[in-house]
Structure 1
Amino acid sequence: MPTIEFENVSKIYDEDTVALDDVSFTIDEGEFVILLGPSGAGKSTMLRVLNGLTEPTEGSVRIGGEELQGNRSGVGMVFQEHYLIESKTAFGNALSGALSRNGLLRSALGMHDDADKRTALEALQTVGLLDEAGQRAESMSGGQKQRVGIARALVQNPEIVLADEPVASLDPKAARDVMRYLKKAATEQDLTTITSLHQVNIAREFGDRFLGIRGGEVIFDGDADDLTMDEMDRIYYGEAQGGKTVPTGTSGDELGGSDADVDAAADGGERA
């Protein structure tokens, strides 16, 4: 299981857009890390760099001591929009995680070996959807679809799982279900997992470690006990706000307070 190392990583898209600014951190094998921060902070860019989809402008990224170059097969990705094939069953979508092993033609013709089929069924069992293996994605709820997305990532046999806002469009109950199954998979398979979230209360329930990102910089690194209201204010606002912190995408109910107590954060940029 590899250790992840960011060393002085910057990503500059143009002279006015610094997505990551001299970021350095290490994530040990098996950690469940949650990225927190306002829209435009650089969370998605960080995940894209880790997945080899975006090259850093400066600095280096190492996984297991090896410099990351291009897309890495041992990294599974869970997307916000899940990207399932609606006409396929949950089993068929999960099985598509074996594409890199089988190739496009064999996968298109349904030529999967028994080992991959067993892996897909086991992945669906892990996310609590074995009984729905034959159900088409088009008839599944948003939470179920996202769990199929997790199963698909598990079929890749990854060492690392990345999830970019996997519960952003879900209600709190469905969001907790998805995060519970993601954490279950990570724990059972000892996967290093990094996910970005906006819902702080849900994040605190499941994260082992939190990285707070603002303006492309990591300004917080700690566990749930360290993630105080003052620290959340600093991550989302840049300064203390009198203890009334509500990150973008949350509600008073999610944070355990009433809407009258909410000082909603402005969504001032492109989701990152």
Structure 2
Amino acid sequence: MSTIEVRNLTKAFGDVRALDDVSFTIEDGEFAVLLGQSGAGKSTLLRCLNGLTQPTSGEIRINDEPVTGPRDDVAMIFQQHYVLGQLSAYGNALTGALNRTSFFNSLVGWHSRPDKMEALKALETVGLLDEANQQTGSMSGGQQQRVGIARALVQQPNLLLADEPVASLDPASAETVMGYIRSAAGERNLSTLASLHQVNLAREFGERFLALRDGELVFDGYREDLTVDVIDRIYGDVQTEDIREGTEATA
């Protein structure tokens, strides 16, 4: 479990501020969804949280420890699955244990029994235990993303981040994958921040909502507060009919 504190976070790329004085706190075990149009700063925020991008100013603290670089207790689920197609689902899940395995042992396939059990448990969590030995390259996009979730869980994180994890999936697969992310986070009491474009999915699976526009935090609230007017403020002129319909259907 982790408490995440973001204080006055700013990230500038030249004259462009991708993040502009952003502050919020995510409590232990909270499942938060990050909203915003393309270019709003969502990916930059997630990369700062996992230590891959250093902010220009401000700070991030996890359990009161400053984030100064990548951390083993922060796991990321990416939009692109980044699975190794020649490996099985089980082999891919085991790569999440690389932070606990020497390079040589990993190279020759030597893993501890606890790590092997953790990989099987993670595959069971995402509904792929029966497909553990299937080559990942032959799996559907939704299954590959579930393997990516399992890999993140094997890392044994305290904080789980997801950057548009269902953007490349059809609606049915997207709902399935979000269901597995939500249930996995709940089972392990993981503090979670997932960026999503689909507001209907966000409302279905999110508890807490943060929204960025032009690098600024323009909304911080809960499902009942995420009204059509708020969606208009977040997305403005680029709002699509899908976003509007999804919000009204679940209001």
| TM-score category of the 2 structures, normalised to the smaller one | over 0.9
Which string of whole-angstrom CA distances, capped at 9 and with x for unpartnered residues, describes residues 230-265 of structure 1?
000000017xx9xxx537xx47875678xxxxxxxx
Q: 1:144 offset after TM fit, Å?
A: 0.5
Aligned to 1:270: none
Separation in 2 of the partners of 1:118 and 1:159?
19
**Ranges of 4+ aligned residues in structure 1 off by more than 2 Å:** 250-257
Q: Answer yes or no: is 1:8 the counterpart of 2:8.
A: yes
Task: Describe how 1:205-244 pairs up with structure 2 within 5 A.
Answer: 205-237=204-236
Shift of 1:105: 2.3
Which position in structure 1 is the counterpart of 2:133? 134
Q: Which runs of 5+ in 2 are unaligned?
A: none
Structure 2 CA distance, aligned partners of 1:253 and 1:135?
Answer: 38
Counterparts of 2:175 and 2:248 in 1: how far apart (Å)?
15
Distance 2:165 2:199 in 1: 14
Aligned CA RMSD, in angstroms, stands at 1.6
> In the alignment, residue 5 of structure 1 is paired with which amino acid?
E
Equivalent runs, 1:195-210 vs 2, <5 Å: 195-210=194-209
When residues 147 and 75 of structure 1 are mapped into structure 2, their CA distance, relative to the original with a 3 A threshold, is: same
Give the match's secondary structure for 1:145.
helix
Residue aligning to 2:240: 246
Structure 1 counterpart of 2:84 = 85
Which letter maps to 1:49?
Answer: C
Residue of structure 2 equivalent to 1:184: 183
**Distance in structure 2 (CA, Å) of the matches to 1:30 and 1:246:** 32
Alignment partners' CA distance in 2, 1:224 and 1:246: 20
Cα distance in 2 for partners of 1:202, 1:252 equals: 12
How do residues 1-272 of structure 1 correspond to structure 2 at under 5 angstroms? 1-15=1-15, 17-237=16-236, 245-246=239-240, 250=242
Question: Hey, what's the Cα distance between the residues in 1 that align with 2:89 and 2:247?
Answer: 33
* Amino acid in the other structure paired with 2:8: N
Q: Tell me if structure 1 keeps the 8 A contact 2:40–2:214.
A: yes
The percentage of aligned residue pairs carrying the same residue is 57
